[in-house]
Copies of this chain bind each other. A is one copy, B any other.
Amino acid sequence: MKPKRKYELLTEVELEFMNILWALDEGTVRDVLDQLPSERSLAYTSAATILRILEQKEFVTSRNRGKSHVYKPTLAKDVYQMRSLKDLSVKLFDDAPASLVARLVDDNELSEEALGQIRALVDRRLKNDTG
């Protein structure tokens, strides 16, 4: 089958699986299934299907080990994080990242510590650019 282009974003379940694979670096159907919370109780074959779809969409590649496949992300998590943020920014924040952060720091739940970390990150980036 010809692989279709233009798969941008992961679906809900695909993201759930990718998070596990990113944490493990790679894994089999069994490995992923073992990482799911017990209350998830997903059938083995369902997990296998999801991974096959992820491979078809080229979010992972697979190699053989014994009788099973080992799946590994083709896309680094930070790359996907950035892609998701860009998507959210465009769709809900008029493509203005600053207004996204504005909303974030409006959150009263946000700890002083988190705020401090955020400022440190921004400062470091500003220094590196000018220096």
Please measure, in the bound complex, the distance between the C-alpha atom of A129 and the C-alpha atom of B15, giving whole angstroms: 36
A47 interfacial by beta-carbon distance below 8 Å = no
Please measure, in the bound complex, the distance between the C-alpha atom of A129 and the C-alpha atom of B96, giving whole angstroms: 25
**Contact (Cβ within 8 A) B98 A112:** no
Interface string of A115-129 (1 = CB under 8 A from B): 111110111011001
A78 to chain B, nearest CB (A): 6
Residues of B within 8 A of A114 (CB): 96-98
Q: Answer whether A125 and B115 are a contact pair too, CB < 8 Å, given A97-B110, A103-B78, A103-B82.
A: yes
**Contact (Cβ within 8 A) B117 A98:** yes
**Contact (Cβ within 8 A) B103 A126:** no
Interface residues on chain A, number (Cβ under 8 Å): 38
A85 interfacial by beta-carbon distance below 8 Å = yes
A1 interfacial by beta-carbon distance below 8 Å = no
Give me 17 A-to-B residue pairs in the complex whose CB atoms sit less than 8 angstroms apart, sorted by A's number. Answer: A15-B92, A19-B92, A80-B92, A81-B93, A82-B103, A82-B104, A82-B106, A85-B100, A85-B103, A88-B88, A96-B114, A97-B110, A98-B118, A101-B101, A101-B118, A112-B129, A118-B122
Q: Taking beta carbons and an 8 Å cutoff, which residues of A are in contact with B? A: 15, 19, 78, 80-82, 84-86, 88, 91-93, 96-98, 100-107, 110, 112, 114-119, 121-123, 125-126, 129
